[in-house]
Amino acid sequence: MNDFDEYLKLSWKIRSDSVMQAQGQLLNWLFTVQGAGIAGSLAYLTSKGMRTGVAMALGAFVLGLLALLVYGTLFYYFEEWRLGTFKTDVAAVESGAITVGHFIAAQAKNSSKYRSCEIIAWISGISAFVGLGALIVAVVEA
């Protein structure tokens, strides 16, 4: 086995394992917080009526959940695209069309496309904090 094959196996395993683990944790926690926030806001709204703080909390949780859905969708399609380019580039290296150095540089450049997913995930997380804060304020003021 040559160095390039070894690099490919190690790179792919590390990349896929860490990305999938981090994405799974993020999606689970954000989905739980957003869903529980929506349920809590609706329960409070039902018992106490509409208040500005509750409406703000509900809006923030809904925005966070929608951002989470957009994040998951974009991440999936970026991964599909990246896997396709990875396979194409590996075939190009094996055929001698590009060098190993060019392949490695192209793979490093591809990770910048995930920045939009990171921003959307941050929007979802910040929305959760805004929703929690607004709901706490609404409960304390009641």
pLDDT average per 10 residues of sequence, the chain (142 residues): 78 79 84 93 90 92 94 86 84 88 79 79 93 92 80
Evaluate whether residue 42 is within a structural domain. Answer: yes
Evaluate whether residue 50 is within a structural domain. Answer: yes
Amino acid 84: pLDDT: 85
Evaluate whether residue 16 is within a structural domain. Answer: no
Residue 83's domain spans which residues?
Answer: 21-141
What's the helix, strand, coil split of the chain in %, to 5?
95, 0, 5
Evaluate whether residue 91 is within a structural domain. Answer: yes
Amino acid 65: pLDDT: 94
How is residue 100 written in tokens? 């190993």
Evaluate whether residue 27 is within a structural domain. Answer: yes
Amino acid 14: pLDDT: 83
Evaluate whether residue 34 is within a structural domain. Answer: yes
Amino acid 114: pLDDT: 76
Evaluate whether residue 56 is within a structural domain. Answer: yes
| Residue pointed to by tokens 């001698």 | 96
- Number of separate domains in the chain: 1
41 contacts 60 by C-beta, under 8 angstroms: no
Evaluate whether residue 5 is within a structural domain. Answer: no
Amino acid 11: pLDDT: 82
